[in-house]
Structure 1
Amino acid sequence: MSADNGSALTPTGTISSAADRRRVVFATVVGTAIEWYDFFTYAGATALVFVPLFFAGAGEQFAGVVAFLGVGLSFLFRPLGAFLAGHYGDKLGRRKVLMITLIGMGAATTLIGVLPTYAQIGIAAPILLLTLRVLQGISAGGEWGGAVLMAVEHAPKDKRGLFGAAPQIGVPLGLLLSSGVMATTRAIAGEEGFLEWGWRVPFLLSVVLIGVGYWIRRGVEESPVFAEIAERAGQTRTPIMQLLKKHLVLVLIAALVFAGNNAVGYMTTGGYIQRYTTDPTGTVKADATIILWIVAASAVSWLIFTWIAGWLSDKIGRRTTYIIGWIVQLAGVFALFPLVNTGSLLNIALALIFLTVGLGLTYGPQAAFYTELFPASIRFSGVSISYAIGAILGGAFAPTIAEAIVKTTGSTENVTWYLAGMTVIGLVATLLLKDRARIPLGPDHEEEQSVSPVYGLSKV
């Protein structure tokens, strides 16, 4: 029985109800939002807290660069998380892997909240901090692919873009939650109190959020596509080896699609704009609490346009939605720093909100787009590893690169060209791939799924 007839199959082979599908959507939104709350709380704290409290030993000139290298470090371990999650997700199921990544991320984040600072234990403080950041990176590398497949593989054929937008909006929702909690905590504790104890509160809250996410995900059925594969004992023994042997070109091109979005997105999610606009020695010198609220507002815009893009991709196609998004994102990149550098809080808000329009349009279709690129038996490995490589090429060191460019040149002009170049790379990679909206996703259609979506190739 196929999972591609407009209704989703449960592991028992029965047609899932609309209520079951809503439960899956809700679980992927909430679970992904909680995971990315953890991830972005670290990035936000890098700009406001970790530079003075954990990386002071690097010296005033280099503390910011070293701290943002810590943000990028986690991306280097995302492929490890993606490899592990992809392997076991294709062999044991999407649901089990999602539970493990949720717990791993939550444990790392909570432990950060109790770490002693550099002043208390010296060099051991940043070492412990970076170790926990690595654990966050491994967990994040495994989370996205599982959440995406749970959503898209449960979806009716004509609503995969809309369903796939669910885990995507978990990312801006996580940013909104993180920025909101940090802004509220800072407003209550004050600047001194926030540096002394208040910064720990957002990290310690993670233990509560993880409990909520675990409870919600426990009630979600396994992906119907994987259930059908498992029922036939059709799991691939070495999914990653099959992926790299037969699908390497596709993986690299798909990674570049995400890299174009990720590099630009990490101007805020990686904490760079927060650091740049609040630096007391910089040109803007804005209040950190207000900047956090502006970032939270931009996250709302990002969420809305991500959802719109998922819906739109079901109407006009994934590829067309992407192309529109790249054009809008490019315009947002060229407007970003000219508006931010005016120092006007209104202009900063306009710049970040405009930027998120393009980010949403190039993020919303990604879940369905990626899912439709890979054969069912190695799909978890394909989407996870493409995503992880794209994160390294795009977002991993984007804040560090931006920080280094400004330190070297004293200007943001070259940062703009760097972000514009990454956007164009994303556009070109998109143009190299065919739109496969509504292709059957079940294991009965592996032969059709193995026909390459890359222009000029007959096999993946």
Structure 2
Amino acid sequence: MTTSPSAPRPTGPPEPSAGEGAGEADPRRLRRVALASLVGTSIEWYDFYIYGLAAIIVFGPQFFPGASTLAATLAAFGTFAVGFVARPIGGVIFGHLGDKLGRKNTLVATLLTMGISTALIGLLPTYATIGVAAPILLVLLRVLQGFAVGGEWGGAVLISVEHAPEKRRGFFGAFPQLGVPIGLIAANGAFLLLAAVVSPEALTSWAWRVPFLFSALLVGVGLYVRLKVEESPEFERSERAGSMRLPIVSVLREHSGQVLCGILIFGGITAVGYIAAVFSISYGTSQLDLPRAPLLAIVLVVALIELPLTLWFSQRADTWGLSRTVAWGAVATAVAIAAFLPLMASGSLLLIALAVAAARIASDVMWGPSAALAAQSYPPEVRYSGASVGYQLGSIFGGALAPIVVTLLLASSVGMAGASVYLVVMVALSGVGALGAAKLSRRSHAAGVTGAGGD
């Protein structure tokens, strides 16, 4: 049975939360789900990040030859940003499939889409070979990458959170979040290894393709793990109760406040993440004339430190409260990001390492618990669509635009002070979004919306 978006939801006693029953009684099942969400998102973010690094190191001269340094940087960041523009579209389409057909099958589709598009980038001829068709194809493949990531995040978070006991959702929701630093570690590690074993000329000529082609092997591993996961119990219950014909319509009509809060939460988080992980390398090499290898190493080491801290903050958030943890994390991140650009401009590798570590570790206080906070803002029948759209639009508002906006502000009359204020405001909006999401979730829970709850 299906219902229209405006039809009333089935009435009756509340469904048990995920984890009541099978999830708590079967820790092996929980571990399997956590591993599948971790492995899958790690591969997806590895693919996404190697594009960002290649855009800094290779894509300017290989796909946009003849441009000035500033123009080439903006063009590279522009193709990087195109992937973000495609992410909400992927979130809507894969979110619809995930709410209608299930989390597991949709996650298999996102992984395949990402793997194929990434491998094709590794095979793509350059401008010198096929002319203007090269950057056009590069942009199209980047769109496919963004399309895949748009559907991946929501599904991986939901299949982990919906299997978890209610009082441990923050902790288990952090496992797909770990895919970001792990993907960053793998991407930076791949380029560091290449830089160590081949010449700079070889790296920009052909060796940059190796990390992209390696993705095909990683996708095979990810599919093997992901196919062994069982479907989310909450999805199965909502499917029996009756699924909505167009979940995204219900999200925009009935949960627009939650979508806006998601945009604010993830706008600030992704802005800090990409400024610290991607912009820092570009700024250090192009403006400070620093060697690339130590900058990559700094980001890699910080990402390693983030792994246990993200899990710890997320575990504590189950006690402290998800929205309160994210809000306090926004305060800490605002302090760190205010000092980020001045520390970068010092040119000292030690101070740059401090800037990257402070910004990313402070934002981890927000990043880990934000997954469960986003998921519990919606009832199960529209949760994939709602959580995905909020996150992906936030990633455009923050992650896609932040490197471009900061680059332009630094080159303008407002300079470093204006760019720093912009970043602080972005982070402050994350805290506002977290508190707003909790308030709206409590209101929905009080109104009897099954599956939505407050902190």
Common fold by TM > 0.5: yes
Q: Does 1:277 align with 2:281?
A: no
Match of 1:7 in 2: 20
1:458 aligned residue = none
Q: Does 1:191 align with 2:195?
A: no
Name the amino acid aligned to 1:272.
F
The match for 1:457 is none
User: Residues 356 and 135 from structure 1, CA distance in 2 versus in 1: closer, same or farther, beyond 3 angstroms?
Assistant: same
Structure 1 partner of 2:5:
none
Give the match's secondary structure for 2:438.
Answer: coil
Instruction: Please give the secondary structure, in 1, of the residue aligned with 2:393.
Output: helix
Structure 1, 296-305 or 94-103: larger mean CA deviation: 296-305
Contact 1:162 1:314 in 2 (8 A): yes
The structure 2 residue matched to 1:313, chosen from 306, 314, 317, is 317
Residue 260 (str. 1) matches residue 280 (str. 2): no
The CA distance in 2 between the partners of 1:16 and 1:380, in whole Å, is 25
Match of 2:419 among 393, 415, 420: 415
2:369 equivalent among 365, 369, 390: 365
Cα shift at 1:115: 1.1
8 A contact 1:372–1:436 mirrored in 2 = no
TM-score (norm. length: structure 1): 0.91
Q: Which residue does the alignment assign to 1:81?
A: 90
Structure 1 residue 447, shift from structure 2 partner: 2.6
Moved more, 409-418 or 137-146: 409-418
Among 251, 259, 278, the residue aligned to 1:251: 259
1:431 Cα deviation (Å)? 2.7
CA contact (8 A) 2:258 2:440 kept: no
Q: Are the structure 2 counterparts of residues 84 and 437 from structure 1 closer, same or farther at C-alpha, using a change threshold of 3 Å?
A: closer
Q: Give the structure 2 partner of residue 397 of structure 1.
A: 401
Contact 1:326/1:426 (8 A) holds in 2:
yes
Choose from 155, 176, 201 the match for 2:185. Answer: 176
Residue pairs, 1:93-172, within 5 angstroms: 93-172=102-181
Aligned pairs for 1:420-459 (under 5 A) are 420-434=424-438, 447-449=448-450
1:7 is paired with a residue whose SS is coil
Cα distance in structure 2, aligned partners of 1:92 and 1:172: 30
* Contact in 2 for aligned 1:83/1:384 (Cα 8 Å): yes
**Alignment length, in residue pairs?**
442
**Contact residue 98 and residue 106 of structure 2 kept, 8 A:** yes
Distance 1:437 1:183, change over 3 A: farther
| More off after superposition, 72-81 vs 295-304 | 295-304
Code of the residue aligned with 2:280 in structure 1: it is I
Distance 2:73 2:346 in 1: 23
d(CA) in 2 for partners of 1:61, 1:355: 25
In structure 2, how many angstroms separate the alpha carbons of the residues matched to 1:138 and 1:410? 35
SS in 1 for 2:244: coil
After TM superposition, give the deviation of residue 427 of structure 1 in Å. 1.7
Mark the CA change 1:54 to 1:359 in structure 2 (over 3 Å): closer, same or farther.
same
Q: Deviations over 1:272-311 (max 9, x none)?
A: 11111011xx2x2111111111111121233333212211
1:159-188 deviation digits (Å, cap 9, x = unpaired): 110000000111111111111111111111
Counterpart CA distance in 1 for 2:453 and 2:231 is: 28
RMSD over equivalenced CA pairs, Å? 2.4
Per the TM alignment, residue 410 of structure 1 is displaced from its structure 2 partner at its CA by: 8.8
1:45 is matched with 54
Q: Secondary structure at the match of 1:412?
A: helix
Moved more, 303-312 or 154-163: 303-312
- Corresponding position of 1:375: 379
Corresponding residue number in structure 1 for 2:339: 335
Aligned AA (1:166): F
Amino acid at match of 1:211: G
The question of whether the paired residues in 1 share the 8 Å contact of 2:127 and 2:134 is answered with yes
> What per-residue deviation string (whole Å, max 9, x for no partner) do you get for residues 147-170 of structure 1?
000000000111110000000111
Which residue type is aligned with residue 402 of structure 1?
V
Q: Which amino acid aligns with 1:255?
A: I
Aligned-residue offset at 1:57: 4.3
What is the distance in 2 between the residues matched to 1:447 and 1:91? 22
State whether structure 2 residue 350 is matched by structure 1 residue 346: yes
The structure with the greater share of residues assigned to helix is 2
Q: CA deviation at 1:109?
A: 0.8
* Contact 2:275-2:402 within 8 A present in 1 as well: yes
Aligned-residue offset at 1:268 = 3.6
Alpha-carbon distance in structure 1 between the residues aligned to 2:401 and 2:18: 42
Give SS of 2:411's match: helix
Q: CA deviation at 1:5?
A: 7.1
CA contact (8 A) 1:114 1:200 kept: yes
Closer, same or farther: CA 89–16 of 1 in aligned 2, 3 Å: farther
Are the counterparts in 2 of residues 8 and 224 from structure 1 also a CA contact under 8 Å? no
Structure 1 residue 237 displacement after superposition: 1.3
**Greater Cα offset, 127-136 or 417-426:** 417-426
How far residue 328 of structure 1 moved from its aligned partner, in angstroms, is: 1.1
1:381-408 residue CA offsets vs partner (Å, 9 max, x unmatched) = 1101111111111111211112222233
Task: List per-residue Cα deviations over 1:238-257 (Å, max 9, x = no partner).
Answer: 11111111111221122111
Structure 1 distance, partners of 2:361, 2:115, is 30
Which of residues 27, 31, 39 in structure 2 aligns to 1:22?
31
Contact 1:317 1:437 (C-alpha < 8 Å) held by counterparts: no
CA distance in 1, matches of 2:179, 2:115: 16
Aligned amino acid, residue 422 of structure 2: Y
In the alignment, residue 402 of structure 2 is paired with which amino acid? A
CA distance in 1, matches of 2:165, 2:447: 19
Cα separation, partners in 2 of 1:428 and 1:103, compared to 1, 3 Å: same
Under a length normalisation based on structure 2, what TM-score does the superposition of the two structures give? 0.92
* Equivalent position amino acid for 2:77 in 1: F
* Cα distance in 1 for residues equivalent to 2:157 and 2:241: 23
Q: Residue 241 of structure 1: SS of its match in structure 2?
A: helix
